[in-house]
Amino acid sequence: MNIKSKIEAVFPSKAFTLVREVGLKAGSLGYRSYMVGGSVRDIILGRSHIDIDITVEGDAIKLGKAIAKDTGAVITVYKSFGTCTLAFKDGSKIDLATARSETYKRPGAMPTTKPSTLKEDLRRRDFTINAIAVSVMAKDFGEVYDLFDGIGDLKSGRIRIMHSRSFTDDPTRILRARRFAARFGFSIEPKTDLLMKKALINRALDTVSPARIQKELMLISKEIL
């Protein structure tokens, strides 16, 4: 499945050009790069999306610095996370992240990450609808990588968790599930709903800092007000 035409329809022309340039530069460095997460989800749904998140099978910071050098973009580096943000003169922004896997030392803790493959990077995400990738490489630009049937869930209008420990690893996903359900008018898949209820009974949210919970609640309020 290729959604190049959908990307062109949703993205402003300058943003589309920037994404193509990221793929070209990644290829010159021997990397592969993909749009991921909310941007892909919204493209498939036909919704406009300003944020552009790109996962790199390679060194995202090195790629970001190379693009900044070529374009004059301002780069902000987050070395400990293997990520960076490029801010362009026209106001466009692109977030680049090295593909990574995650482990959790304890429930509710921030994850420990290490560089990995696209598949492992998608596997660590919250819901299947946010675990879809699209190549931005020159040879297969727009090709979809849907390893967990996220598109099927988008078509069915359901929120489905990635794995059984997801709400334990990061209990804020409980709140996020409600937020996405409210935003898109989706239902929460039965097994996901059961796991959510078990996590609440086990007081999973008690393992999360009040600041993180407050942030999620504020985001939910924006969806329903």
Whole-prediction pTM: 0.89
Residues 162 and 127 both lie in one domain: no
Phi-psi map region of 204: left, alpha, beta (phi>0 left; psi -120 to 50 alpha):
alpha
Residues 170 and 211 both lie in one domain: yes
Do strands 93-98 and 53-57 pair parallel, antiparallel, or not at all (unpaired)? parallel
DSSP state of 79: G
Reported as a single tens digit per residue, the pLDDT across 124-171 is 999 999 999 999 999 999 999 999 999 999 999 999 999 999 999 899
Among residues 175, 144, 170, the alpha carbon closest in space to that of 159 is found at 175
pLDDT at 225 over 70: no
Domain boundary among 154, 174, 200: 154
Reported as a single tens digit per residue, the pLDDT across 74-89 is 999 998 889 999 999 8
Residues 77 and 14 both lie in one domain: yes
At residue 220 the predicted structure's pLDDT band, cuts being 50, 70 and 90, is confident
In percent, the amount of the chain with pLDDT more than 70 equals 96
Residues 8 and 71 both lie in one domain: yes
Residues 125 and 180 both lie in one domain: no
| Core vs surface per residue 161-181: b (16+ CB within 10 A) or e | bbeeebbbbbbbbbbbbbbbb
Q: Which domain holds residue 208?
A: 157-225
Among residues 59, 64, 43, the alpha carbon closest in space to that of 146 is found at 43
Q: Which two tokens stand for residue 104?
A: 């959790």
Domain boundary among 154, 176, 196: 154
Residues 121 and 201 both lie in one domain: no
At 46 the three-state DSSP class reads: coil
Instruction: List the CATH number of the domain containing 16.
Output: 3.30.460.10
Reported as a single tens digit per residue, the pLDDT across 38-94 is 989 999 998 876 689 999 999 999 999 999 999 999 999 998 889 999 999 888 899
Residues 172 and 222 both lie in one domain: yes
pLDDT at 104 over 90: no
Give residue 46's pLDDT: 87
φ, ψ of residue 193 to 5 degrees: the values are -65, -40
Q: How far apart are CA 131 and CA 147, in angstroms?
A: 8
Total number of domains constituting the chain:
2
